[in-house]
């Protein structure tokens, strides 16, 4: 369980999750966002 919280603590990973809440995105679209 600690690894989940460690992953969610990283600001880049949180940003990716925020972007994906709006729907599926390609890796390129995530990189450009």
What's the rounded Cα separation, in Å, for the pair 20 and 15?
A: 9
What's the rounded Cα separation, in Å, for the pair 10 and 23?
A: 21
* Residue 3's pLDDT band (cuts 50, 70, 90): confident
Residue 1 in this model has a pLDDT that exceeds 80 = no
User: Structurally, how many domains does the chain consist of?
Assistant: 1
pTM of the model: 0.71
Residue range of the domain that includes 25:
2-32
Specify the pLDDT at position 22.
Answer: 95
CB proximity list for 19: less than 8 A, separation 6 or greater: 25, 30, 33
Pull the structure tokens for residue 4: 């989940």
Specify the pLDDT at position 2.
Answer: 84
């Amino acid at each position: 369980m600690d690894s989940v919280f460690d992953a969610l603590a990283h600001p880049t990973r949180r940003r990716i999750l925020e972007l994906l809440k709006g729907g599926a995105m390609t890796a390129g679209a995530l990189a450009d966002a």
